[in-house]
Amino acid sequence: MILTTLLLLSFQLLGRAEAFVQRPWDESYALANAKVAQMTIDEKVGILTGVGQFNSRCVGDTHPVDRLGIPAICFQDGPAGLRLVKGVTGFPSGINTASTFSRRLMRARGVALGEESRGKGVNVFLGPAMDIMRNPKAGRGWESFGPDPFLTGEGAYETIVGVQSTGVQGCAKHFVGNNQEHWRYGVTADFDERTMREVYGWPFLRSVEADVSSVMCAYNRVNGTSSCGNADLLGPNGFLRENGFKGFVVSDWGATHDTAKDVANAGLDMEQPGDWIVIGGGDFNDLISGLKPAVNNGDVSIDRLDEMVGRVLAAFYHLGQDSGFPAVNFDAQQPSTPTALARRTSMSRLEFVVPPVDALTAENAGAGAAALATSLSNDLDAGASAARDRDVAVVFANAMSGELGFYDVVVGNMGDRNDLDLWFKGGSLIERVAAVCNNTIVVIHSVGPVFMPWSSHPNITAIVYAGAPGEMTGPSLVDVLYGRYNPRGRLPFSIADKETDFGTSIVYDSLTGFPEINYTEKLLLDYRYMDANGITPRFEFGFGLSYTTFVYSGPLSIVSSASGARAVTFTVANSGDVPGTEIAQLYLGFPAGAGEPKRVLRGFEEVALGVGESRSVTIMLGQRDVSIWDVVRHAWVVPPGTFTVTVGASINDVRLTGTF
């Protein structure tokens, strides 16, 4: 049996234009502050507030200051391509990007997202999303990079570097604890300092390290305080600034739940979109009408106002958007072909999608080709009868989810999934087809883990986990099925048999209004929880197959440097018959007593190898990779004792072990 994850990259990776060189922050601030000094209060407030979602050509626009040559700044979603824009690419989702375990491909996707944004005149690309998939049913989990903080952090880092290399601003979202759709406008996500640093905040820390120019605060509250009015997160001594963030904080669309005085003084710099009243606690979007009076009566100081504007303009100058940046050339109010399907499938329109059935049909056109029979309904009898006595049957089953409120109440699922079953009786269809065809290939399109009780059925010869792919899903799948492309993706989450195996849940119902969700599992998500509870998943984190095989050889060399970094070196060889790429993964076991999960992902490397070829691979462990967040010292600290390093093809397929 083959189970593999499939990455559907729908763009060319090579031959990109030279990376854009960013202007240093100090020069950018000097330019910004020179403009701020010439502005009236109304002009400043105009830069800090949106023009109104339905008045804007982009999903968000600031007010221009024409007399000073400052244009409207255009914000557009993100994160898997440009939403509500015609003629653009529907990129693979974040979760499929995570399944590459490839910084090279993460970066390349970021560059392509940036180039398309720039071409359309988008100043701020509203992505990447980096909310941890705390529970696999979380509606928007697939927009991000899964349940593992390290993998999510690398996805966030590379995407931002890629996007910003084109002169487009990235926007790290949604800060923070935006982990379910039900009650999202006011739910409070309650977690402790260590959980924040090591899990939910980690990708945002990596975003700051990637020099992200903007961060979007979330709809929800954190430990009882709204994300966009939370000085612990946004303030001068809060998480972002303390870690060196130099850009500006923008609210999620309608996430400003407190008064202008409160949010401005807490560290929010910009309110978007400027005209929404959403269901949430307190005053709404009060910056629009409330900021000027708050400045006039001294509740918000002129210095703070100037700082807010300075940050927004500095980001604009930092990315060089003051010269040669294309004008907006689309209208998000007039998107073409506004079909419900496109809205529901993705954060982009998938205007050019090539479905698998079309690609398979094209592959089998002409003389001597296989005779295809299709069943395109969800009818189980029709599916089984199309498959009966065929040489091979390919069964497609799916599970979707998305954003609450506007697009995604589908088949009774309101954003978050109701369960981990395949939709439209997909599991039953698979079993019915497998009963009548002894060469059944299952293709799963899903936003995250699904139950696969049928996976060991003797007639199921392959399972392709295609995830939530981009527009070239059909041709990519054909390439894999026909052996022209050797799969190399890995599961960015575990696939288990019971919801309780994941250790967290979605709060759907609350009789008392916005619920309080206590993240009592702390650091133990996905494989970490399973490890702690002796649960063996059906398919483990990091698992995936190839048409070739790989051999690891050691001994594992672990060399420490004076800086506290460690280089872990080993050799991988392709021992099979076709070229392929191995995803070597490094898991770290902390010393007993450090309070860490049994094993945590701390490194990965793609190793492309020809037949018979072998290569020495080095994975670096930095000082922070071997640290825990010490809540007494409020700092990263390396715990004393012996660390265990395992290297292998998945978390459970361990090939080499060492200690230091």
Instruction: List residues with catalytic annotation.
Output: 252
Distance CA 502, CA 530 (A): 7
Within 10 A of 464 (CB to CB), how many other CB atoms are there? 22
Q: What is the Rg, in whole angstroms, of the alpha carbon atoms belonging to the chain? A: 25
Rounded to a whole number of angstroms, the minimum distance from the CB of residue 98 to ligand BGC is: 18
Between residues 77 and 416, which has the closer beta carbon with respect to ligand BGC? 77
Between residues 173 and 311, which has the closer beta carbon with respect to ligand BGC? 173
Residue 330 contacts ligand BGC per CB under 6 A: no
Between residues 61 and 252, which has the closer beta carbon with respect to ligand BGC? 252
Q: Which of 46, 50, 71, 78 binds ligand BGC (CB under 6 A)?
A: 78
Rounded to a whole number of angstroms, the minimum distance from the CB of residue 326 to ligand BGC is: 21
Number of residues this chain uses to bind ligand BGC (CB under 6 A): 7
Supply φ then ψ for residue 363, to 5 degrees. -65, -30
Residue 126 contacts ligand BGC per CB under 6 A: yes
Q: What is the per-residue binding string for ligand BGC in 347-376, x denoting contact by CB under 6 A?
A: ------------------------------
Residue 208 contacts ligand BGC per CB under 6 A: no
Q: How far apart are the first and last CA of the chain?
A: 37
Nearest-10 crossing angle of helices 25-36, 302-318: 130
- Tell me 93's DSSP state: P
Distance CA 163, CA 210 (A): 11
Answer whether the bond into residue 293 is a cis peptide, omega within 30°: no
Rounded to a whole number of angstroms, the minimum distance from the CB of residue 453 to ligand BGC is: 34
Laid out side by side, the sheet with 566-574 consists of 550-560, 566-574, 614-621
Q: Which of 173, 221, 349, 417 binds ligand BGC (CB under 6 A)?
A: 173
Between residues 60 and 580, which has the closer beta carbon with respect to ligand BGC? 60
Do the beta carbons of residue 419 and residue 499 sit within 8 Å?
A: yes
Residue 431 contacts ligand BGC per CB under 6 A: no
Residue 141 contacts ligand BGC per CB under 6 A: no
Place of tokens 């094209």: 362
Supply φ then ψ for residue 393, to 5 degrees. -120, 135
Do the beta carbons of residue 309 and residue 47 sit within 8 Å?
A: yes
Residue 253 contacts ligand BGC per CB under 6 A: yes
Secondary structure of 204-218 in HEC code, one letter for each residue? HHHHHHCCCCEEEEC
Structure tokens, 188: 């409070």
Rounded to a whole number of angstroms, the minimum distance from the CB of residue 174 to ligand BGC is: 6
Between residues 214 and 494, which has the closer beta carbon with respect to ligand BGC? 214
Place of tokens 């399907």: 341
Residue 252 contacts ligand BGC per CB under 6 A: yes
Rounded to a whole number of angstroms, the minimum distance from the CB of residue 284 to ligand BGC is: 14
Residue 77 contacts ligand BGC per CB under 6 A: yes
Residue 325 contacts ligand BGC per CB under 6 A: no
Residue 269 contacts ligand BGC per CB under 6 A: no
Rounded to a whole number of angstroms, the minimum distance from the CB of residue 139 to ligand BGC is: 11
Cα–Cα distances (Å) from 55 to 52, 181, 273, 292, in that order, read 5, 26, 10, 21
Q: What is the per-residue binding string for ligand BGC in 487-526, x denoting contact by CB under 6 A?
A: ----------------------------------------
Place of tokens 């037949």: 611
- Using CB atoms within 10 Å of the CB of residue 530, give its burial: 0 to 12 exposed, 13 to 18 middle, 19+ buried: buried
Between residues 140 and 599, which has the closer beta carbon with respect to ligand BGC? 140
Residue 531 contacts ligand BGC per CB under 6 A: no
Label the pairing between strands 566-574 and 550-560. Answer: antiparallel
Do the beta carbons of residue 398 and residue 444 sit within 8 Å?
A: yes
Between residues 77 and 501, which has the closer beta carbon with respect to ligand BGC? 77
Residue 130 contacts ligand BGC per CB under 6 A: no
Rounded to a whole number of angstroms, the minimum distance from the CB of residue 78 to ligand BGC is: 6
Residue 142 contacts ligand BGC per CB under 6 A: no
Residue 59 contacts ligand BGC per CB under 6 A: yes
Q: For residue 326, which amino acid is it?
A: P
Contact residues: ligand BGC, CB under 6 A: 59, 77-78, 126, 173, 252-253
